[in-house]
């Protein structure tokens, strides 16, 4: 118990101040030694880690900038490719529409020509050509085009069809 009483009689403020003085001196000595080794290119401990961390951070920033630039370039190329595909698709669609119009027009004109030459057709053939003409008109309307090539032929076909309906096939 005497030891405990003797411990409480000590001057703790002097002890705490002494510990702080020793710690400050140790830190100062460490800083001086670190700077000394850093001058010769041989950093120690924490200084070495800080330098490595800084280099890693700089490299990461550079890599991130490169990645950002690559992303922007890829986005531009993607937009250009999308435009090219869209243009090609529009051309292909127009080619398909033109082909479809030409095929329907040819079928109507060919039927009219054969009919005018005296060839005989049944009711289903007439109805088929009339149906083709309706599709032809619809495709022209959907694409903002006008019919000017099969009107006379359809008049011939319709006159013959009406005559056949009155007199029989």
Q: Enter the pTM of the model.
A: 0.55
User: pLDDT tens digits, residue range 109-121?
Assistant: 999 999 999 899 9
Query: Cα–Cα distance between 20 and 2 in angstroms, integer?
Result: 29
Helix (H) / strand (E) containing 99: helix 45-116
**How do residues 8-62 score in pLDDT, each as one tens digit?**
677 777 778 888 898 999 988 888 887 777 777 666 665 567 778 888 999 999 9
- CB-CB neighbours of 129 under 10 Å: 24
Cβ-contact 37, 43 below 8 angstroms: yes
Regarding predicted confidence, which is higher, 133 or 150?
Answer: 133
**What three-state secondary structure class fits 73?**
helix
Q: How far apart are CA 99 and CA 91, in angstroms?
A: 12
Domain boundaries, the chain: 12-42, 43-167
Average pLDDT over residues 80-106: 95
């Amino acid at each position: 118990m005497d030891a405990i009483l003797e411990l409480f009689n000590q001057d703790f403020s002097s002890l705490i101040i002494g510990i702080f003085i020793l710690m400050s001196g140790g830190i100062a000595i460490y800083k001086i030694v670190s700077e000394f080794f850093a001058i010769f290119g041989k950093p120690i401990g924490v200084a070495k880690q800080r330098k490595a961390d800084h280099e890693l951070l700089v490299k990461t920033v550079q890599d991130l900038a490169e990645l950002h630039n690559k992303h922007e370039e890829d986005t531009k190329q993607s937009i250009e490719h999308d435009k090219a595909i869209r243009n090609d698709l529009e051309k292909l669609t127009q080619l398909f529409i033109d082909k479809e119009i030409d095929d329907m027009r040819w079928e109507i004109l060919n039927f009219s020509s054969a009919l005018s030459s005296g060839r005989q057709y049944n009711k289903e053939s007439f109805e088929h050509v009339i149906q083709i003409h309706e599709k032809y008109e619809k495709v022209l309307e959907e694409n903002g085009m006008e019919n000017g090539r099969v009107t006379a032929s359809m008049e011939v076909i319709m006159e013959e069809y009406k005559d056949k309906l009155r007199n029989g096939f």
